[in-house]
Structure 1
Amino acid sequence: MALTLSKNQSISLEKTAGAGLTKISLGLGWDPMKTGLMGKLFGKSGDIDLDASCILFDANLKPVDLVWFRQLKSKDGSIRHSGDNRTGEGDGDDETIFIDLATLPAAVTHLVFTVNSFTGENFERIENAYCRIVDSGKNNELARFNLSEQGAHTGVVMASLTRGASGWDFKAIGKTTRGRTADDLVSLAVEAVRA
């Protein structure tokens, strides 16, 4: 059974998944709040375009690469993005980032996952947002973090993966921001990993 994490809580992926963890994915899901007739009259559509991204850092927290809707694969090919979901409609994960831990370059020690609204919609209009980490080899959800904080922010540093001596640790972060692209969130991602 998957663990539900709170802000700043972390787990060891190897201890949670067992030996042999090589491929994982981070799924992001959300639902647009129902707008009803009044929302439609005042130009509020039901669609919300959130973008999941992964920022790759080295041990000195220098950005190495960025996987997002404008670059769907890392330069080395170890991380892939499922593509841009512009509505949030449907069940399950709306966007997914696939990570091959076995082929990830040794110089990459931190992966930081962010979500932002490129179009500037804020999180007051979003409900049921979450991110979850899945053992892709066994199709088993390891941990989930509910992004329940609503407000005027347009982005969230969701979570991080950090490579240590005993394997990878997953940390729920949940730091809100007004950034609208993954580029806007790089410095906040660094702060979140250092904290």
Structure 2
Amino acid sequence: MALTLSKNQSISLEKTGGAGLSKITLGLGWDPVKSGFFGKLLGGGSEIDLDASCILFDENLKPVDLVWFRQLTSKDGSIKHSGDNRTGEGSGDDESIYVDLQQLPASIKYLALTCNSFTGQNFEKVENAYCRILDTAKNTELARFNLSDKGLHTGVVMASLTRGQQGWEFKAIGKATNGRTADDLVSLAVEALRG
């Protein structure tokens, strides 16, 4: 059974997924706020274009690579993005990032999962936002982080993966920011990883 994490909680993927964990999926889902007939007439309840991104850092928190809708595969090929979902409609993950932990270069110590609104829509217009981590081979959810914070922000550092002596650790972060692209969120991701 998957764990639901609160802000700043973390879990060991080795303990949760088992020692054989080699491929994971980071899933991001959201829905546009439904505001009824009159809300739609006034501009509510429209499509929401959020973008999931994964920023790769070395042990000194220097950004090494970025996987997002403009670069769907990491330079080394270990991380792949499912592609851009521009609406948030439908059930399940709206965007996914696939990580081959065995292919990930040893120089990569941190992965930061971010989410931002390229079109500038704020999180007052988003509901049911979450990120989750799955064991890809078993198609089982290991942990989930539900993002309930509403606000005028346009981006969030959702979660991180950190490589340690005992394997990978997944941490729920949920740090709100303003930014329309993953590039805008790099410095905040560094700050969140240090915290």
User: Equivalent residue for 1:193?
Assistant: 193
Q: Paired residue for 2:155?
A: 155
Q: Is the 8 A contact 1:48 1:87 kept in 2?
A: yes
Aligned residue number for residue 30 of structure 1: 30
Q: Residues 44-55 of structure 1: matches in 2 within 5 Å?
A: 44=44, 46-55=46-55
The residue aligned with 2:115 is 115
User: TM-score, structure 2 length as denominator?
Assistant: 0.98
For 1:103, the aligned partner's letter is Q
* Deviation at residue 171 of structure 1 after TM alignment: 0.4
Report the count of equivalent residues: 195
Alpha-carbon offset, residue 55 of structure 1: 0.2
Q: Helix, strand or coil for the counterpart of 2:11?
A: strand
* Identity in percent: 77
Alpha-carbon offset, residue 45 of structure 1? 5.0
What is the CA-CA distance between 1:179 and the residue it aligns to?
1.0
8 Å CA contact 1:35, 1:46 repeated in 2: no
* Structure 1: tracts of 5 or more residues without a match: none
Q: Aligned-pair RMSD on alpha carbons?
A: 0.9
| Segments ≥4 residues shifted beyond 4 Å | none
Deviation at 1:38, TM superposition (A): 2.4
Report the Cα offset of residue 19 of structure 1: 1.4
Query: Could you say which residue in structure 2 is the equivalent of 1:179?
Result: 179
SS of residue in 2 equivalent to 1:127: strand
* Aligned-residue offset at 1:40: 2.9
1:42-191 alignment, distance < 5 Å? 42-44=42-44, 46-191=46-191
* One-letter amino acid of the structure 2 residue matched with residue 174 of structure 1: G
For residue 161 of structure 2, what is the amino acid of its counterpart? L
| Equivalent AA in structure 1 for residue 64 of structure 2 | V
Normalising by structure 1, we get a TM-score of: 0.98
Shift of 1:120: 0.5
